[in-house]
Structure 1
């Protein structure tokens, strides 16, 4: 049986948000993986890696899983009704609607997080209540058919969890072993709880520009929702 995974790809995407779960999904037996965008012209990731969409919104086949990755480019998507409409429509059809990192903000802007537990990158977790979500810190957070993952590298763990939910733990473990996924980081600064104060400050400074732009966008989005109400 073919299982169809679709991952949104867009300008400014954080490539590992996409390629980490892509590698897991593409390594799964019986999987068919699609990279979806408005057209099939290459897009450039936040770290300048070109990525090639394989299908368009209009031509994308029926999916079992839709995943929205994150990155600086997610900011533009929060006000892009073409993208949000596609996410909304597919959310009604898929078995699992999912995200990695700040991709959950796009799910929120599409109206899919109201009253539901969700996570995102630690530096964006405080934005989730703007979309009516219940912010929940965690590597992977599941609420019914909604599965959200934390920042960037969480996409690997997330991919394995999705495969286990769709097929079996045995298949997920087979994929894990085939990829020799046995993380042993040389440093322990992967979360704010582990990192030193200096490292946290330096990281927040590096992310400040994207965060400021995101704050302004979400403020506009919130104001527009009040007007609609």
Structure 2
């Protein structure tokens, strides 16, 4: 099984590194059955993040036919400023994702029953603004929940939202929770717990799923 973590210009480094580290440790725990790659739509290349010029290297091209997971990070950049004056704010960077070569590949991945697309923080907004997850359940950073709802996505205020072949996580550090949820979902709680113990980190909250009884009082 593969876990492809997508790099694109302006990505948020922690959105990438948190799930990468967790999934890599999980791969070790299952004897290498899980292959974890940093990928880009263009193939192997150096990809510039949105934080202080940090660069990560994609080692392969995003392949929507590979079974497993495709993880989409959010972006980092200024939260305020006038785009007409050349300030590339986070909403501008997220909207630009829809014009990249990654968007049609993610559309293919979402149509592939062997693939689950996962998103960290603004990654779900990038997918939503590209018109890829309308009417689905997802979460993003707390500051982007209204925008997520405005795209036609059912925004759920949970740490991790599992909507079947679409899994999303909230703010930046929730990439750790996303990675651990993927490990538990695929390999069971013992593997997830072993990685939790290694990282000295415990997941927060209940994973939300669109199932079970509706509460009478919220």
Same fold (TM over 0.5): yes
Instruction: After superposition, give the CA deviation of every residue in 1:96-131 in whole Å (9 maximum; x if it has no partner).
Output: 211000100222234332222110011111111232
CA distance in 2, matches of 1:63, 1:55: 15
Deviation, 1:61, is 6.4
Q: Which runs of 5+ in 1 are unaligned?
A: 184-229
Q: Tell me the SS of whatever aligns to 1:13.
A: coil
Q: Which runs of 5+ in 2 are unaligned?
A: 77-92, 204-218
1:74 aligned residue: 94
Deviation, 1:60, is 7.0
Normalised by the length of structure 1, the TM-score is 0.72
Contact 2:66/2:115 (CA < 8 Å) preserved in 1?
A: no
CA distance change for structure 1 residues 106 and 63 in 2, over 3 Å: closer, same or farther?
A: farther
CA distance in 2, matches of 1:21, 1:151: 13
Normalised by the length of structure 2, the TM-score is 0.76
CA distance in 1, matches of 2:130, 2:37: 21
User: Equivalent residues in 2 for 1:1-229 (5 A)?
Assistant: 3-28=1-26, 29=30, 30-37=33-40, 38-47=42-51, 48-57=53-62, 62-72=66-76, 73-80=93-100, 82-93=101-112, 94-182=114-202
CA distance in 2, matches of 1:112, 1:85: 9
CA distance change for structure 1 residues 182 and 115 in 2, over 3 Å: closer, same or farther?
A: closer
CA distance in 2, matches of 1:75, 1:110: 7
The root-mean-square deviation of aligned C-alpha atoms, in Å, is 2.0
CA distance change for structure 1 residues 96 and 61 in 2, over 3 Å: closer, same or farther?
A: closer
Instruction: After superposition, give the CA deviation of every residue in 1:12-63 in whole Å (9 maximum; x if it has no partner).
Output: 1110000000001111122211111113221121222210001113x67613
CA distance in 1, matches of 2:98, 2:184: 30
